[in-house]
Amino acid sequence: MRLRDEVIIVSGGAGGLGRALVERLLAEGALVCAFDRSERRLAELSTIYGDKLIPITGDVRSLQDNKRAVAACLTRFGKLDCAIGNAGIWDFSTQLLDLEEDSLDESFDEVFQVNVKGYLLLAKAALEALIESRGSLLFTISNAGFYPDGGGPLYTASKHAIVGLTRQLAFELAPFVRVNAVAPGGIATDLRGPDSLGMAERSIASIDLAKTAAERVPVGLLPTASDYAAAYVFFASRADNVPATGSILNYDGGFGVRGLRQAMGGRELLERIALQRQKEGRK
């Protein structure tokens, strides 16, 4: 087991990709703190894994909640070896034209606070403990951190921001803390949207991503959340990754090698603007 007795925090660890990570890390021998806002899902995990898992209910946008997760690891297990920032929300590819003016400020703040600030706060809360253990930070990005059309401008910009955050922290924390990221592709999980866009109860699982995977994903299928977990084990371990700090793994089913098809995403933009003006009674 590559992670025997390593102590690891996973934010967003009670559902979707986060839960798959928690389960795989535990299977590899780690002791895990699942930090999530869902008490019900955390209770389920706690029932299954008992003393090997610490369930912490909280909001990733709160520094104090992140500190509670770190403190729980130090109290129970005496150390922290790795902190994985994974919690996130998706904008369901809402384009700029469709972002309402009266909700734009709020939706921007919500997406960036969860997807970017949440990672920064986890890093801040875990910093001293990770320096002490010569540990590692690991972030979940997305194919949208490198390519367009994996989300709308809010989501895509937030994931590009994590690319910069990963590289900057890798520089600032060297040589004491290794910092890496994994950029998964599509996953049929319970990933939700921003409440400010009325999407808090909307799940990406409602979209049949597997139906078009054979045509859109070079590997020919839609990977499961569990399929992505091995990359996190590699980065979270202390073996075979010494040169890796600052490295980001595009682990997305091959999106970067797709052939060229549609070059412009705005082909229908003028027609859509005309329809929008008609609905609003503008000329």
Tokens at residue 77, please? Answer: 């297990």
8 A C-beta contact, residue 33 and residue 8: yes
Sheet holding 53-57, edge to edge: 53-57, 31-36, 7-11, 82-85, 136-140, 178-184, 248-251
- How far, in Å, are 75, 94, 99, 113, 124 from residue 155 at the CA level? 36, 9, 12, 11, 23
Among candidate residues 49, 147, 155, 232, the one labeled active-site is 155
Residues 6+ apart with CB under 8 A from 230: 24
Assess whether 251 carries a catalytic annotation: no
Alpha helix stretches (DSSP H) within 206-248: 209-216, 225-236
Alpha-carbon distance of 252 to 180, in angstroms, equals 16
Per-residue burial over 237-247, b = 16 or more CB atoms within 10 Å of its CB, e = otherwise: bbeeeeebbbb
Residues involved in catalysis: 155
